[in-house]
Structure 1
């Protein structure tokens, strides 16, 4: 009997809102933000990202102000793939 893989996690991106300022957490493919933060530090500290995700589950690609990827986080941590850095 083969091991059953869990379903893929929903993917999100935390990126600078160039029109209105602040930082937006968006689900992949969505036009509207799931959550808006005034500061990036607000979004990345104290579990704010995991609380903003529906059900606290997903991967978040965190971008720098220039749009380059800074890091990627997985929630819950136990779902982080072993074969990826970070």
Structure 2
């Protein structure tokens, strides 16, 4: 998993929306009105692109919720997800 790009989806209180950020560059790739908008049917996969990556998804309070890997074939074998 060391070669995967790392991303995070967090709630931005200042803008009152959800931001998907590339953790390597710190750049915000896209903003969403709701967490559900970001996590529904292939949206994250499409934003991340064909190279894929690992997305850490947080709760509104900032605590870790879950992690998703795109494409799924790059998910480490030891992962429960």
What TM-score do you get using the length of structure 2 for normalisation?
0.90
Answer yes or no: is the 8 Å Cα contact 1:17–1:24 preserved in 2.
yes
Greater RCO, CA 8 A, separation 6+: 2
Given the alignment of the two structures, is residue 53 of structure 1 paired with residue 48 of structure 2, yes or no?
Answer: yes
Question: Match for residue 77 of structure 1?
Answer: 72
* Runs of at least 4 residues off by over 2 Å: 29-32
Give the paired residue count.
Answer: 81
Answer yes or no: is the 8 Å Cα contact 1:50–1:56 preserved in 2.
no
Which has the larger Rg? Answer: 1
Where do 5+ consecutive residues of structure 2 fail to align? none
Which of the pair is proportionally richer in strand?
A: 2
Question: Match for residue 37 of structure 1?
Answer: 32
